[in-house]
Chain A
Amino acid sequence: MKSITKLLFTSFFTTLLVACQSEALFPDTDTSVELIQLSPEVQAIKDDLDLSHFESDPSGIDVDKIVIDWENHISSQKEDGLWYQFPLTTVLPAQLKSDLIVQQDYMLVVAISEDVTEYSLVKLAHLEGSSPTATYLQLGGFHGMTYLYDLNGATRGVAYVENGETHTSITTEHWHHVPMSNCDVHGLADNVRMGTMNHNDLHDQGCDGGGSGWVRVATDHYTDWYNHRGGNTWEYSHTEYTGTTYEYIWVEGGGGQYLNAIYLPDAYSGGTGNDFDLGEFYDWYYNERDEGEPLRIQIDPSLQDTVAGCVLAKLMLGELALYRDTIGSFEDDPSFNLTFTFGECSDGDDACTSAADLSDGNITIKIQNQGLHALEYASLILHEGIHAEIFRAVETYTSELLNPNDWERLGQLYRNYLADNGNNTETTEAQHRFMTERYVIPLAEAIWKLDNKRYPLDDYMKFGWDGLERYGFTGYFHDGVFKRLTREESNEDYHNQDKVLNNTTF
Chain B
Amino acid sequence: MTVIKKLYTVLFICLISFSIHSCIVQDSEADTESYEILNMLIDKHAKPLLPPPPPLPNTFTYDSVNIKENYYSGHWSSKSDSIIYSNKLDSIKKKNEILSKNIAQIIAIDPYFAVPWLADSNFNFANSPEKQRLYEALKAIQDSIPLRIDRLKITRNDSLTYWSKAQHRRRKGADYVGVDIVASFSRVAFDEKKQKAALVVSFNRSVLAGFSAIYFLEKKDDKWVVIDTKGLWIS
**A interface residues with partner B (beta carbon < 8 Å):** 220, 239, 241, 244, 343-356, 366, 369, 371-373, 376, 380, 383-384, 387, 394-395, 397, 407-416, 418-425, 427-428, 431-433, 437, 466-471, 473-477, 480, 482, 494, 501
Contact = CB atoms under 8 A, between A and B. Distances in A.
Contacts of B208: 349-351, 380, 383-384, 466-468
Nearest to B72: A411
B98 interface: no
6 contacts: A344-B117, A380-B208, A420-B68, A427-B231, A473-B49, A477-B55
A419 B49 CA distance: 16
A244 B174 CA distance: 13
Contacts of A351: 208, 235
B110 A467 contact: no
A80 to B, nearest CB: 41
A346 B180 contact: no
B207 A425 contact: no
A348 B207 contact: yes
A458 B114 CA distance: 40
B234 interface: yes
Given A346-B210, A348-B204, A476-B52, A423 B233 contact: yes
Given A348-B163, A349-B210, A470-B49, A423 B231 contact: yes
A299 B180 CA distance: 33
B70 A420 contact: yes
Nearest to A421: B68
B148 interface: no
Nearest to B110: A347
B52 to A, nearest CB: 5
Given A348-B210, A352-B212, 17 more contacts: A244-B172, A345-B202, A345-B233, A345-B235, A352-B233, A366-B233, A369-B172, A376-B173, A380-B208, A395-B68, A423-B212, A425-B211, A428-B209, A470-B49, A470-B206, A475-B52, A477-B55
Contact of A384 (B54, B114, B172, B235): B235
B192 to A, nearest CB: 28
Contact of B65 (A356, A387, A407): A407
B120 A343 contact: yes
A356 B124 CA distance: 12
Nearest first, the 6 A-B pairs at minimum CB distance are A423-B231, A467-B208, A348-B182, A352-B235, A346-B202, A475-B51
B39 interface: no
Nearest to A437: B52
Contacts of A350: 173, 207-208, 235
B213 interface: yes
A355 to B, nearest CB: 7
Interface string B106-120: 001010001001011
A431 B208 CA distance: 12
A424 B211 contact: yes
B230 A356 contact: yes
Contacts of B123: 356
Contact of A241 (B121, B171, B235): B171
Contacts, number: 191
Interface in B121-154: 121, 123
B50 A474 contact: yes
Contacts of B117: 344-346
Contact of A412 (B45, B53, B175): B53
Nearest to A241: B170
Nearest to A417: B52
A414 B203 contact: no
Contacts of B231: 355-356, 422-424, 427
A352 B55 CA distance: 28
B212 A471 contact: no
A408 B54 CA distance: 12
B55 A409 contact: yes
Nearest to A346: B202
A482 B54 contact: yes
A345 B68 CA distance: 25
Contact of A467 (B53, B166, B184, B206): B206
A349 B232 CA distance: 13
Given A344-B120, A414-B70, A424-B229, A371 B172 contact: yes
Contact of B233 (A353, A410, A418): A353
Contacts of B165: 347
Contact of A421 (B62, B67, B166, B182): B67
A295 to B, nearest CB: 19
Contacts of A349: 202, 204, 207-208, 210, 235
Contacts of A409: 55
B4 interface: no
B234 A428 contact: yes
Nearest to B174: A494
Interface string B217-235: 0000000000001111111
Given A344-B119, A369-B173, A369-B207, A408 B50 contact: no
Nearest to B51: A475
B233 A354 contact: yes
Contacts of A355: 231, 233-234
B179 to A, nearest CB: 9
A193 to B, nearest CB: 16
Contacts of B171: 220, 241, 244
A395 B205 CA distance: 26
Contact of B207 (A410, A431, A467): A467
A355 B231 CA distance: 8
Nearest to A433: B52
Contacts of A468: 206, 208-209
Contacts of A414: 67-68, 70
Nearest to B186: A346
Contact of B234 (A348, A431, A466, A494): A431
